[in-house]
Chain A
Amino acid sequence: MVSFTPTEDQQLLVDTIRRYADKNIRPAAHDVDEAEAPDMDVIQAGWQLGLIPSALPEELGGFGDMSAISGAMIAEELAFGDLSVAMHLLAPSLLAYPVTLFGTAAQRESLLPAFLEEEFTAATAAFLEPGMMFDPRAMQTTATPSGDGVKLNGVKACVPLADESRALLVYARNAESGDIEAYIVPDDTPGLLIQEREKLMGLRALPTFRVKFEDAQVPVSAKLGGAVGIDIQTILNRQNVALGALAVGVARAAFEYAREYAKERVQFGKAIAQNQSIAFMLAEMAIEVDATRLMVWESAWMLDQGQDATREAYLARQYADKMVLTVTDSGVQTLGGYGFIREYPAERWLRNGRGFPTFDGLAIL
C-alpha cells in the first residue's frame, strides 16, 4: 500500500532531532560559521542522540536499523539545523556505514565498537579530489599492489575531521585492475600527510582538510571487504540519497525562514508576503522542497527494498543539487538587503546550498 507516513519510531526520531536542531544547533549556527570552528557542546549533544549506533549491527551493540529512509530523515533534520553540524556529526558514518555494509567480520569487530562510545568519536573518509572534473569512477588516487598490501598515492580534498580521526576510509583506483577500492588507513600511517585546513565558501564550521598520500603503505587486511571488496555503485547511490536529503534540509530551512520573514516585513503598508511576486516565489520553494523530499524518499525506499536505485538516486541528487541552489537563492532574495547581511542566516544557506554538486563523498547512509 502506498503511504507517505513515517513509522512511529521514525516520527519520534524526527521530533527528537528537530528539538535538538531548534534548541542546540540553530542558536549556535551563526557564531560557529563566523568562528570557523565547531561548538563541541553542540556536537556532543548531537552525538548523545545515538544516531550512528542506531544503524550499526545488533551483534556489536548497535540497533541494526540501517534504513536508508530513516537515514534520509535524520540527514534532513540535522541539515535543517545547520549543514556544518550535520556533516560533522555524520562524518564518522563515512567510515562506519561502508564498514557495516562491506566490512569483513574482523573489520567490523575492530572498527565499529568505537562508535558506540559516549564521547564523540571522529572518523572520516577521503573521497573527493581537488580540481575540476572529479569522476568517482576514475579517481586519480591510486592503490598500487606492493609487497603484502598496497601503496597509496594521490591527493584528496574536503576530508572532514581528518586531523582528529583515528582512521580514514580512503577511496582509490587500483593501479592494476582499475577497480575503485576503499582502504582503512590509521592516522599514524607513514606517508599519510594531513595538509592545512581548507577555507571554503560555506561549511565554515566544519574542519575539512587536504590529505596527501605519498607511498602510504597499508596491509592487505586494510582493504575494505577483503578479497570481495566493495560495490562502488552502492556507495555512490547511498551518497546521492544522503546528499539529496541534506539538500532538502538546507532548502527547507531557507524556505521556512523566508516565509516567516515575508509575513512580518511590512512595506507599502502591508506584509511583503501579500504581494504575489513574493508569495508565488515562496509557493515555488515549498513545492520544490516537497518534490525533492519525495524523490529522496523513493530512492531511499528502493535501497531499503534491495532494489537497484542507481537511476532514481542519481536523478534525485541532480534534482536536489539544482533545487537547493534555487530555493536558498530565493531565500536571500525574499529578505532583500537583509538577505545579504551575515547577521541573518539566509546568505549562509545560499553559501552552503551552492556546494551540493561538489559534495561527493561528504555524506552517506
Chain B
Amino acid sequence: MTINFEIPENIQQAAQMVRYIAETTMRPYSRELDENEHARPTAFTEAMWPILSGQQQASLTKIEKQLEAQKNGDVAVKSDTKTRPSNHYLSMMYMVEILSWGDAGIYLCLPNSALGGFAVEAVGTPEQKLRLLRRFAEGEPSWGAMAMTEPNAGSDTSAIQTTAVFDEATNEWVLNGEKIFCTSGGLALDESDGLVIVWATVDRDAGRAGMKPFVVEAGTPGATVVKAEKKHGIRASDTVSIAFNDARIPADNVLGSPEVHTDKGTKGFKGAMATFDASRPLVASGALGIGRAAVEFVKEKFDEAGIEIPYGAPYHKLTAVQRDFMEMEAQLKAAYLLTLRSIVMLDEGTSNPLEASMAKVKAGKAITWVTQKAVELLGMMGYSREHLAEKWMRDAKINDIYEGTGQINTLIVARRLLGYTRNELA
C-alpha cells in the first residue's frame, strides 16, 4: 500500500453524472421546496428511481443466484459482501456529497430503501431480503425508513418504550408506542408501498438486549403517520411521527433472532450500532456537500466583487474576509479528509467506529460553522431568501444533530481513545 489521495477515474465520471442530476433536478427546485415545506421533489425522485431501482434489482438477482447455488450445493459462489467492489463506499461518499451539494433536503427523499435497507441488508436472511426489498426494485417509487427515536428516547436509544408482543394465536407481532423524527416515514407508509424498520422492545427489563428491529410495511392497520414536522432546515425532507396502536405484522417481520440473549449482552443493539460505522461517514459526506456549496457560492461572489484569495501571502497581509474564507476552506478540507479516511476504512474492511465518529464530529461542527460564516460574509446576499446561502446554513445544522449529536459522537471518540466503557465514561 502507499498513501494516495487520487479519486479513481470511474468515480469521477459517475460524479459528473450525479452533478448533472443535482443541477437539473435539485438546485432549480431548492427554494420552492424550502418555501412549500411538505411538497415533494418529484423531478428528482422521477430521475433517480430508474437508477436506484435498477441497482436494487441487480442486488436481488445476486441473492437469488446465491440461493439457487446453495440449493444445488454449489458453495463456490462468493457471498455478496465479498464481491462488492472495493470502492463501494467511496462511490457512495461522492454520490451523497454531490446530491447534498444539490440540495440536502431533497437528497433525503431519495426513493430507495435508505436506512431501512441498511438494517435488512445487515441482519436480514436472504429470504427476507428478497421478500422485503423487491418493492425497491420495480413498479412505482418506494421509500424505506427507520424509526428509532421516541419523545423520551433521543440519544439514549436504550430508553425506547415501544413494545412488540408476540401473539401465538395469529402468529403475529403486535406493536404499540410512538416514534418521532422518522425520515421519509410519510413517503414510506402513506405515499408508497414502502416499509419502516421500527425498533421496539420485546422485554423492557432486558434493556438493550430486548431491543429488536421490526419491519412495518405500508398498509399495516394500526401504524399511522400522525404528524409531519415543520423544521429549521432540510424542509424538503419528510420527517414524521408514527403511532402504533396494536399494529400487527407477520411473525417473519422481525430482523435477526427474536430471542433475548441477556447473557450474550446486546447483540441486536450492537447490530444497530454497527450500521453507524457506515451511516456516520455518509452523513458526514452529506455535510461536506452543503459546505462545498456555501464555499463555492461565496467564492463566486468574491470573484464578481474582485476579492482575491492570495494563497501564500503572509498571514498578517490578509484581510479579515480573506482569513475567514481560507478558514472556511481549511475546515471543509479537514472534515473532508477525516470523512475520506473513515470511508476508505469501510472499503478496506477495517474496523472504523473511532474514525467514523471523528469524521461525524468534525463534519457536523465544521459545516455548521462554514455555512454560518458564509451568511455573515455575504451580508444581505447571505441573509436574504433570494439566495440559497441562508438555506444552506439551516440545512447544515442538522448534521451536528442526527445520526448521533456532536456530543454523543465526541463521547464515543473519547471512550475509544481512553479505552473506557460506557460505565467508566458516562
> Could you list which residues of chain A lie within 8 angstroms of chain B, going by C-beta atoms?
1-7, 10, 69, 132-137, 233, 236, 259, 262-263, 273-274, 276, 279-280, 282-284, 286-288, 290-292, 294-295, 297-298, 301-302, 310-312, 314-316, 318-319, 321, 357
Q: Please name all residues of chain A whose beta carbon is closer than 8 Å to the beta carbon of B341 when the two chains form the complex.
A: 4, 290, 294
B326 & A318 in contact (Cβ 8 Å cutoff): yes
Q: Is there a chain A Cβ closer than 8 Å to B169's Cβ?
A: no
B425 & A274 in contact (Cβ 8 Å cutoff): yes
Q: Please name all residues of chain B whose beta carbon is closer than 8 Å to the beta carbon of A283 when the two chains form the complex.
A: 361, 410-411, 413-414, 417
Q: List 18 A-B contacts (CB under 8 A).
A: A2-B5, A2-B87, A4-B341, A5-B2, A10-B2, A132-B316, A133-B316, A137-B312, A274-B425, A287-B362, A291-B334, A294-B334, A294-B340, A295-B333, A295-B337, A297-B3, A314-B326, A315-B333
Residue of B nearest to A11 (CB): B1
Q: Please name all residues of chain B whose beta carbon is closer than 8 Å to the beta carbon of A10 when the two chains form the complex.
A: 2-3
A6 & B410 in contact (Cβ 8 Å cutoff): no
CB distance from A268 to the nearest CB of B (A): 14
Instruction: State the CA gap A280–B407 with chains docked (Å).
Output: 8
A315 & B330 in contact (Cβ 8 Å cutoff): yes
Q: Please name all residues of chain B whose beta carbon is closer than 8 Å to the beta carbon of A310 when the two chains form the complex.
A: 311-312
B410 & A284 in contact (Cβ 8 Å cutoff): yes
The total of interchain contacts (Cβ-Cβ below 8 angstroms) comes to: 137
For B303-334 the 0/1 string (1 means CB < 8 A from A) is 00000000111111100000000110110011
Residue of A nearest to B417 (CB): A286
**Known: A6-B3, A286-B413, A301-B5. Contact between A319 and B334, CB under 8 A?**
yes
B418 & A357 in contact (Cβ 8 Å cutoff): no
CB distance from A261 to the nearest CB of B (A): 12
Q: Please name all residues of chain B whose beta carbon is closer than 8 Å to the beta carbon of A318 when the two chains form the complex.
A: 315, 326-327, 330
A282 & B418 in contact (Cβ 8 Å cutoff): yes
For B393-426 the 0/1 string (1 means CB < 8 A from A) is 0000000000000010011011101101000110
B311 & A135 in contact (Cβ 8 Å cutoff): no
Of B329, B337, B425, which contacts A298 at CB under 8 A?
A: B337
**Known: A286-B358, A315-B330, A319-B334. Contact between A5 and B3, CB under 8 A?**
yes
Of B90, B315, B338, which contacts A290 at CB under 8 A?
A: B338
CB distance from B325 to the nearest CB of A (A): 11
CB distance from A362 to the nearest CB of B (A): 15
Residue of A nearest to B11 (CB): A2
**Known: A279-B414, A318-B315. Contact between A1 and B358, CB under 8 A?**
no
Per the 8 Å Cβ criterion, residues 333-389 of B in contact with A are: 333-335, 337-338, 340-341, 344, 358, 361-362
B1 & A291 in contact (Cβ 8 Å cutoff): no
Q: Please name all residues of chain B whose beta carbon is closer than 8 Å to the beta carbon of A2 when the two chains form the complex.
A: 4-8, 87, 90, 340, 344
A259 & B418 in contact (Cβ 8 Å cutoff): yes
For B288-309 the 0/1 string (1 means CB < 8 A from A) is 0000000000000000000000
Q: Please name all residues of chain A whose beta carbon is closer than 8 Å to the beta carbon of B5 when the two chains form the complex.
A: 2, 297-298, 301-302
A3 & B4 in contact (Cβ 8 Å cutoff): yes
Residue of B nearest to A275 (CB): B425
B414 & A287 in contact (Cβ 8 Å cutoff): no
Q: Please name all residues of chain A whose beta carbon is closer than 8 Å to the beta carbon of B335 when the two chains form the complex.
A: 291
Instruction: State the CA gap A69–B312 with chains docked (Å).
Output: 20
A3 & B344 in contact (Cβ 8 Å cutoff): yes
B414 & A134 in contact (Cβ 8 Å cutoff): no
Of A3, A136, A236, A357, which contacts B1 at CB under 8 A?
A: A3
CB distance from B333 to the nearest CB of A (A): 6
A4 & B334 in contact (Cβ 8 Å cutoff): no
Q: Please name all residues of chain A whose beta carbon is closer than 8 Å to the beta carbon of B311 when the two chains form the complex.
A: 310-311, 314-315
Known: A295-B337, A297-B5. 15 other contacts (CB 8 A): A2-B4, A10-B2, A135-B313, A137-B312, A279-B414, A279-B425, A280-B411, A284-B410, A286-B413, A286-B417, A287-B338, A294-B334, A294-B341, A295-B330, A310-B311
Per the 8 Å Cβ criterion, residues 1-45 of B in contact with A are: 1-8
Most interface-central of B333, B358, B362 (chain A CB within 10 A)? B333
CB distance from B154 to the nearest CB of A (A): 17
**Known: A7-B1, A279-B425, A287-B362. Contact between A294 and B329, CB under 8 A?**
no
Q: Please name all residues of chain B whose beta carbon is closer than 8 Å to the beta carbon of A7 when the two chains form the complex.
A: 1-3
Q: Please name all residues of chain A whose beta carbon is closer than 8 Å to the beta carbon of B425 when the two chains form the complex.
A: 273-274, 276, 279
Instruction: State the CA gap A323–B159 with chains docked (Å).
Output: 38
Residue of A nearest to B331 (CB): A319
Of B8, B338, B407, B420, which contacts A1 at CB under 8 A?
A: B8
